[in-house]
Amino acid sequence: MNLLESHTDHTEQTGDRSIRRWDGAVSAFVSAAPRLFAIGLRVLQDVGEAEDVVQETWLRWARADRSVVVSPPAFLALTTTRLAINVVQSARRRHETSAGPWLPETTDRAVSPGTAAERHEAVDTAIRLLLERLTPAERAAYLLRMAFDYPYRQISEILHLSEDHARQLVRRARGHLATERCRPVSTTAHRRLVQTFLAAAQTGDLAELEELLAAGVAR
């Protein structure tokens, strides 16, 4: 085999791998799309805006370094949640409703140190707001539902309460996040929740976060 043939074979193989990776990315997004639309619709209460958010999620997914994404469904769900909440908190919607703190895209680890620091700071601020304004039960139900799209049945099992109670907690959390009340925040508790949340978002393994939130409710 001459050098030209070898180069041609290598190019074809590389092209095949690229096509397979792209097909996998498309497949992962298509599989998640109904869930992503449901997330957007639940947060925004508007079909058109929910569709726009899902489209933007696709653009983020297409540009992302997917080789470092451990859990594509978690990446896509968290990105959709962040984008939807960002819309809710934009200037044109702020006077109508408030769905809570902005939760940045934390699953994409292929970012510069500066961008990573900005995202960490944003999560730090959002978690502090949750600690200041929500009870442990409200905070647990809200985070599991809004950031990770847990069904109410699963939330009720984790927190050992009824599904109706879990729904009420999320509704109350939305209302309390729009208030100005401010509870004292433990520096230790704040740091631990931030670190656990970031780890869950980056790896897709939410077991430690579930345990931490449930422990707060049980106390």
Nearest CA among 164, 144, 116 for reference residue 210: 144
pLDDT at 49: 84
Q: Are 41 and 173 in contact (CB under 8 A)?
A: no
pLDDT, tens only, 186-199: 999 999 998 898 88
CA–CA separation, 82 and 34 (whole Å): 17
DSSP annotation of 68 reads G
Nearest CA among 84, 69, 74 for reference residue 150: 74
> What is the largest distance, in Å, between two alpha-carbon atoms of the chain?
75
More confident residue, 134 or 95: 134
pLDDT, tens only, 49-75: 888 888 889 888 888 888 888 888 888
CA–CA separation, 72 and 27 (whole Å): 11
What values do phi and psi take at 171, rounded to 5?
-65, -45
pLDDT, tens only, 173-182: 888 877 777 8
CA–CA separation, 50 and 33 (whole Å): 11
pLDDT, tens only, 121-153: 667 778 888 888 889 999 999 988 887 878 899
Which parts of 64-206 fold into alpha helices (H)? 72-88, 113-133, 136-142, 152-159, 163-177, 187-203
